[in-house]
């Protein structure tokens, strides 16, 4: 099992996700999760706004198979929308259909989403429907299309590792889209497996949507791709109101600040909540450099939870083999 596969497996382990809630933001997660409640995330947003950076807020949640949990998530997201309006911060919402009941019942999920989107529309707040694994891909697109019949304040995500991504980006070019590489483990039947193929497709998707789309969120931490896209934007005279750069909270902060300082529209993806574990493990799977966060937290704070032992044990084993 590769290191990436290992962390993805951890992110999908319900036992570990449930137990993580008992220990707070361990294993360095506090560096990449902006608190556990609305007050804390509002403080984080205000700090980012002070640097000219807008935010998209994700109320973290995994493995929702009970209607009461989905309703609670809907109420929490609605409360975030109210807080964004009341605090007059520059922010919008990102949400996952599975957290709102997609795995329980499609129509139930739609009604929850509809309530959230309608509330956000009242306050002129944008709602981004995040994409998850391939199994949930088409149902999520279906939700987007159905909701767009009554509301225009919605958009979604295109994942570059999917073989169908070019078709999807053409179909949804009239929506505001966040373009990402993809963070789940998918089979070769539906997704590219090699980094070079994913990167190439990612750049092609970005260039297409920048030229033909409504609005493009360029979501990457890769400075080589960012520099390429900056030159592409210049060469094609693409106006600033048509795009933004986007990165995750806690990652490459210096670059985030620099891009904002250079005058580019910049948005930080700001996750918060108790269900931080799955999100954090996928971030480790995406970027091996992030493992340093785990090493520092496990050995400096002497974390002895099952979560720490599992991750640290594997990491130490890998490092030992490389010597």
Q: Which residues contact 84 (CB under 8 A, 6 or more apart)?
A: 45, 57, 91, 92, 93, 123, 125
Joined together, the tokens standing for residue 33 give 């999760």
Joined together, the tokens standing for residue 204 give 């092609």
Q: How far, in Å, CA of 160 to CA of 157, rounded?
A: 10
DSSP 121-146: HHTT--EEE----GGGHHHHHHHHHH
Cross-strand bridge partners of residue 155? 128, 176
| Burial of 305 from C-beta contacts in 10 A (0-12 / 13-18 / 19+) | middle
Q: Let me know: does 117 contact 151? Beta carbons within 8 Å.
A: yes
Q: How far, in Å, CA of 113 to CA of 96, rounded?
A: 10
Q: How far, in Å, CA of 89 to CA of 192, rounded?
A: 38
Q: Which residues contact 135 (CB under 8 A, 6 or more apart)?
A: none
24: left (phi over 0), alpha (psi -120 to 50) or beta: left
Which residues are tagged catalytic?
130, 178
Q: Could you give phi then psi for residue 244, rounded to 5 degrees?
A: -150, 155
Joined together, the tokens standing for residue 175 give 């929506």
210, containing H or E segment: helix 195-212
């Amino acid at each position: 099992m590769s290191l990436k596969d290992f962390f993805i497996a951890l992110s999908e382990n319900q036992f570990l996700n449930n137990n993580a809630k008992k220990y707070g933001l361990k294993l360095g997660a506090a560096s990449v999760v902006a608190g556990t409640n609305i007050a804390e995330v509002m403080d984080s947003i205000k700090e980012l706004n002070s640097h000219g950076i807008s935010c998209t807020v994700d109320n973290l949640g995994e493995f929702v198979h009970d209607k009461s949990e989905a309703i609670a998530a809907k109420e929490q997201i609605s409360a975030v929308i109210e807080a964004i309006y009341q605090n007059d911060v520059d922010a919008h919402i990102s949400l996952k259909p599975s957290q709102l009941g997609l795995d329980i019942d499609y129509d139930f999920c739609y009604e929850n989403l509809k309530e959230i989107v309608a509330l956000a529309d009242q306050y002129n707040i944008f709602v981004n429907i995040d994409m998850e694994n391939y199994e949930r891909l088409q149902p999520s697109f279906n939700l987007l299309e159905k909701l767009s019949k009554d509301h225009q304040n919605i958009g979604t995500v295109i994942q570059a590792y999917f073989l169908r991504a070019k078709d999807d980006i053409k179909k949804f070019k009239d929506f505001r889209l966040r373009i990402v590489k993809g963070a789940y483990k998918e089979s070769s039947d539906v997704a590219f497996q090699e980094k070079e193929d994913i990167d190439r497709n990612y750049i092609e998707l970005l260039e297409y949507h920048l030229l033909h789309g409504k609005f493009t969120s360029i979501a990457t931490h890769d400075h080589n791709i960012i520099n390429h896209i900056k030159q592409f934007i210049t060469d094609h005279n693409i106006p600033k109101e048509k795009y933004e750069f986007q990165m995750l909270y806690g990652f490459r902060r210096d670059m985030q600040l620099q891009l904002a300082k250079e005058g580019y529209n910049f948005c930080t993806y700001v996750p918060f909540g108790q269900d931080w574990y799955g999100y954090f493990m996928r971030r480790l799977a995406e970027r091996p450099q992030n493992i340093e966060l785990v090493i520092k937290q496990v050995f400096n704070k002497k974390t002895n939870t099952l979560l720490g032992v599992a991750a640290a044990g594997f990491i130490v084993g890998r490092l030992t083999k490389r010597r």
